[in-house]
Amino acid sequence: MIRPLPGRLVLIGDPVTHSLSPRFQNAALRSAAIPLQYEAIKVSAADLASVVADLAAVSATGNITIPHKVSFAALCRTLTGAAEIAGAVNTFWVENGVLHGDNTDVEGFNFAVERLLGSTPIRQTVALLGAGGAAAAVLSAANQWQETSITIWNRTREKSVAVAERFGGVRVAAVSEQAVKDATLVVNATSIGMTDDSFPVDPALIPETASVLDIVCRIGGTAWVRAARGRGLNASDGREMLIAQGAASFRRWFGLEPDVAAMRGAIGLTG
């Protein structure tokens, strides 16, 4: 059954113009005949708390993106288990004036990996590039996989050390080449490649039997994934994860199953 409609449905981030979420969430809203518009709003770190207070006052609901997932978690009165473990929020809603946070990136990432590997992930040697909010969701998911080891690399080393300590058993690499050396699965959870064609690591350094998941999303895919495929690697960009996390958010907001085919079509995914 559909829940009471929120006052607004928003994506909060900075930048937000690159985001594909308005395309597919608005397609799902139209398909379900829900009279709301999903709006992307640019909010700086300095303004986050006051904007969120204004949005809570109108019972808004929505998503959080780069770079606010971790700081938003601290503003929520309650967190789901997934958001608590990740320490990051990508989905929020307001009930009786109380702000709640969830993290559907964890579910979305697991879905995308299963699709890429063609099976439930097990016995993986994961190289994780990045230590922000999305990387925390990747760690939450991969930490649950059986017989799996994880090495993390991040531009700002202190952040990778902090996140590795929080999750436990995660190795920290000094350079990205070291992280990917023996990997069976390489995940880009940095924002490299989001607005240009730069690479988080040279695909030539990735073992030829490894799979590559770039969680960055772009219409037509990312240059890094194209280069990895050009080397014969099994590689996918972040659009499968994006749809899966977005569908989970939609269920959370409305208690309804979204039209996933319409969502996929809106960002050029087929099959």
Would you count residue 134 as binding ligand NAP (CB under 6 A)?
Answer: yes
Would you count residue 154 as binding ligand NAP (CB under 6 A)?
Answer: yes
Residue 159 annotated among the catalytic residues of the structure: no
Q: How many residues bind ligand NAP (CB under 6 A)?
A: 28
Among positions 67, 181, 234, 260, the unique one binding ligand NAP when judged by CB under 6 A: 67
Q: How far is the CB of 247 from ligand NAP (least distance, A)?
A: 11
Among positions 135, 142, 152, 185, the unique one binding ligand NAP when judged by CB under 6 A: 135
Radius of gyration of the chain (CA): 18
| Site string (13-42) toward ligand NAP, x via CB under 6 A | ------------------------------
Would you count residue 77 as binding ligand NAP (CB under 6 A)?
Answer: no
Among positions 76, 152, 192, 201, the unique one binding ligand NAP when judged by CB under 6 A: 192
What is the rounded CA–CA span in Å between residue 181 and residue 166? Answer: 24
Options 29-37, 49-57, 144-152, 154-162: segment touching ligand NAP (CB under 6 A): 154-162
SS3 category, 235:
strand
Nearer to ligand NAP, 34 or 112 (CB): 112
Q: Which helix (H) or strand (E) holds 39?
A: strand 38-42
Would you count residue 156 as binding ligand NAP (CB under 6 A)?
Answer: yes
Nearer to ligand NAP, 22 or 133 (CB): 133
Q: What is the DSSP letter of 4?
A: P
Applying the rule CB under 6 A, the residues between 100 and 119 that interact with ligand NAP are 105, 108
Q: What is the DSSP letter of 129?
A: E
Question: Do 23 and 246 form a contact (C-beta atoms < 8 A)?
Answer: no
Among positions 215, 248, 263, 266, the unique one binding ligand NAP when judged by CB under 6 A: 215
What is the rounded CA–CA span in Å between residue 203 and residue 201? Answer: 6
Question: Do 152 and 179 form a contact (C-beta atoms < 8 A)?
Answer: yes
Question: Do 238 and 214 form a contact (C-beta atoms < 8 A)?
Answer: yes
Measured in whole angstroms, how far is the alpha carbon of residue 80 from the centre of its chain?
16
Rounded to 10 degrees, the C-alpha dihedral 21/27/28/32 comes to: 150
User: Of all residues in the chain, what percent are helix, strand and coil, respectively (each to 5)?
Assistant: 40, 20, 40
Catalytic residue set: 69
Q: Which residues bind ligand NAP (CB under 6 A)?
A: 65-67, 69, 105, 108, 130-135, 154-156, 159, 189-192, 194, 215-217, 238, 241-242, 245
